[in-house]
Structure 1
Amino acid sequence: MTVAPPTLSDSWYGSAPYVTPLYGNPPDLPKVMAETGQKTFQLTFIQAPRGGGDCTPTWDGAVPVSADTAVARIIDGVRLAGGDVSVSIGGYGGTNLGQTCGSAEDTANAYQQVIDKYALRAIDFNLEEPEYSDPVAITKELRAAQILQQNNPVLYVSVTTVAAPSGTTPQGQNLLNTAKALNFTPNNYSIMPFNGFQNVGDQIAVLKKFHGVLMSTFGWDSATAYAHEGASLMNGRSDFGEYYTQADFQTLLDYSISHGLSRYTFWSLNRDRQCTPPDNGQTSGTCSSVPQHRWDFTRLTAQFAQRTTAMKVGVEISPPAPDAHPVLSDHGVGR
């Protein structure tokens, strides 16, 4: 039997770091919770079966959700420890249900199976290539998200997509335009300012550009746009060889909180530990390639949830004092 989720604020779902639960040496999530204060995690990815042509939700195109027991046990463990999970749809590569299901309604029905199986209160639409360039599939995904939002009133829905120097790419702008035409508003739109962004200054610049895109697309004022904006980061060495340190994440954390962003997360918790040697010159799925103590980056997502939740209820909270695991910030490679 699935353990019922606790009642958590949206700030916690906005802080959930991505986790690949079935590969990449996944950590023991209750232990991570105890060591960091993080209460939520973003489990990846729900896709169509490998090879496509089917509207059956599967983990990474391989394990049908209906047959899963391994991820269910992980979710129960998190909930028994007082936390919760979100589940992410899509990701880079693979075939997604918006590409294989016959309609938006069929797509929504497939995702509803995931929500029902795990008693979910949060879901993320991570819309990247190749589906990202298929307007028909994107329309099905967003309409499915809208149906889920309507049928599950407490469901937290995030949409994650690609960043570009102008804020987002033409495909990303099409995604936003499609959502506007559907009159669909998720809890937030998050961009991924890594792979091509050399430093934290570039990352903040693109978040500012995206803020303007949200205002111009939806007619939102500045505060509303910030409240629907998020940052999905990459810890350590990126796919393109940039390095993002704990100090960079701290700068982006402070920016996100001071501007009222509703999501601050990263790819991925599996990578939130030091490689051997600390910089192995490669992008790894199981370590960060920057000097660190384990879970340094996850401690920052926990701060985001703690501080934004406190602000919403009118309680002042200061960042935690340095402890036995100080932030390491002088890596210097690629900066």
Structure 2
Amino acid sequence: MRTRRIGPVLAAVAVAAGTAATLATHGASASVNATAALSDNWYASAPYLMPQSNNPPDPAAVMSATGQKAFQLAFILAPSGGGCSPTWDGTSAVSSDTTVTGVVNKIRGAGGDVSVSVGGYGGTKLGQTCSDANATAAAYQQVIDKYSLHALDFDLEEPEYENDAAINNELGAAQILQRDNPGLFVSVTMPGTAAGTGWFGTQLLDKAKTLGFTPDNFSIMPFDGGFNGASSQTSALEAFHSLLMSHLGWDSATAYAHEGFSGMNGKSDAGEYFYQADFQTVLDYATGHGLGRFTYWSVNRDRACTTTTDNGVCSNVPQSDWDFTKYTAKFAGATPPTSGTTTTTTTTTTTPGNGGSCAAAAWSATTAYNGGAVVSYNGHKWTAKWWTYGDTPGGAAGVWTDNGAC
């Protein structure tokens, strides 16, 4: 299953971009501004943000527009040439970093904080290159010390996810860091499936139990696996809840409290679509069941596509800038501003099935459509390619052609 985190393919472009250049100026000093920890609800809601690639936004502007206080900076990897020292994206050594330091200082200067995510979909992970759990922990301790961190996320994906020795190093390192850094908020993120997670995910849970390691949460990523909107995601979360109980021996309340959701906004790499209404539904599920985390990939994508459809820098769904980040702020208990610096770059978003101002009739899940039928859905007009029943426009089945906003 491809649970892709958009890689650093746009790094050169992003560094040249105005936003990235602005952030880099704050990195003139290599020292980071250490601050007291925020309450855990903020680290549990921190959305992912790539600080050096994929056209990074100004985090202070996002904070002002949404009320979000924390961000999950991604990703720490092993050096692309090999070794057991931490780098950003496999290319920039943490030890000599000034650019990300500037981003951290800007967020903290605005009253927020950061978590750092290690791993992700691309590149070589430290768990693969370090000799054992102690060496892996020592590498990550450098990151904690460099940025005076209060939170760390272990994003465990392919191919490391399928490597028993590497996962042993990662979970063992997480346990060591949790012990050596009292109060450190630790999340473990893994691929999601309709069954909650796959075979390697259940092996990961079993290994954590054997080690006696309990993070603040185990989170799944229910996207890039045949998912179709919020109902499929909440179903996966409920299945994962059962796995947490059966594999870790937890009661229902404990399992929910240690369970997390890590979604993807807009169009996924597999062509699934997740709209604002889907985020609201999953948020309602998360708060209603007392889940321990609600986040998404990524803030870099939390804006409408205008001059590009590059999935790394925009969502490919109708939205205003930072719409999806407002849901993580809500999970943390904040009330996002209703007006401010947000710029509307597309038509007003409508709820699924609502035709809004479109002339075509609204799509209905209980109506059969012949090829050529035209409907409206989420502010767009769609044409059926062939006979269909119950297939959501923009969904993984690929039945509908998007004719654009209306």
Residue 144 of structure 1 is matched in structure 2 by 173
- CA shift for structure 1 position 93: 2.1
Is the Cα contact below 8 Å between 2:37 and 2:150 reproduced in 1? no
1:297 and 2:324 matched: yes
| Structure 1 residues 219-245: Cα deviation after superposition (integer angstroms, max 9, x where no partner) | 111110000000000000001101100
1:192-231 matched pairs, under 5 angstroms = 192-195=221-224, 196-231=226-261
Is the Cα contact below 8 Å between 1:48 and 1:96 reproduced in 2? yes
Residue 272 of structure 1 is matched in structure 2 by 302
Identify which of 63, 66, 91 aligns with 2:95: 66
In structure 2, distance between residues paired with 1:152 and 1:112: 9
In structure 2, distance between residues paired with 1:234 and 1:6: 30
In structure 1, distance between residues paired with 2:209 and 2:37: 30
Structure 2: gaps (5+ residues): 1-30, 352-377, 380-391, 396-406
1:84 and 2:113 matched: yes
Normalising by structure 1, we get a TM-score of: 0.92
In structure 2, distance between residues paired with 1:292 and 1:121: 32
Residue 247 of structure 1 is matched in structure 2 by 277
Identify which of 50, 55, 62 aligns with 1:32: 62
Please tell me the root mean square deviation across aligned C-alpha atoms, in Å: 1.6
- CA shift for structure 1 position 51: 3.5
In structure 2, distance between residues paired with 1:295 and 1:56: 34
1:176 and 2:205 matched: yes
Is the Cα contact below 8 Å between 1:5 and 1:83 reproduced in 2? no
In structure 2, distance between residues paired with 1:321 and 1:159: 30
- CA shift for structure 1 position 36: 0.7
- CA shift for structure 1 position 161: 0.1
Equivalent AA in structure 2 for residue 102 of structure 1: S
Is the Cα contact below 8 Å between 1:51 and 1:95 reproduced in 2? no
**Relative to 1, partners in 2 of residues 1:320 and 1:47: Cα closer, same or farther, differing over 3 Å?**
closer
Residue 234 of structure 1 is matched in structure 2 by 264
Q: Which protein has greater RCO, CA pairs closer than 8 Å, 6+ apart?
A: 1
- CA shift for structure 1 position 123: 0.3
In structure 1, distance between residues paired with 2:46 and 2:140: 20
Residue 365 of structure 2 is matched in structure 1 by none
Residue 193 of structure 2 is matched in structure 1 by 164
Residue 312 of structure 1 is matched in structure 2 by none
Stretch deviating more after TM superposition (260-269 or 43-52):
43-52
Hey, which of these two has a bigger chunk of helix by percent? 1
Residue 311 of structure 1 is matched in structure 2 by none
1:117 and 2:117 matched: no
SS of corresponding position for 2:270: coil
Equivalent AA in structure 2 for residue 303 of structure 1: K
| Structure 1 residues 254-293: Cα deviation after superposition (integer angstroms, max 9, x where no partner) | 110010001100000000000027xx7x561000000000
Identify which of 286, 290, 294 aligns with 2:313: 286
In structure 1, distance between residues paired with 2:80 and 2:325: 31
Identify which of 136, 153, 156 aligns with 1:107: 136
Identity %: 58
**Relative to 1, partners in 2 of residues 1:153 and 1:199: Cα closer, same or farther, differing over 3 Å?**
same
Normalising by structure 2, we get a TM-score of: 0.76
- CA shift for structure 1 position 321: 8.8
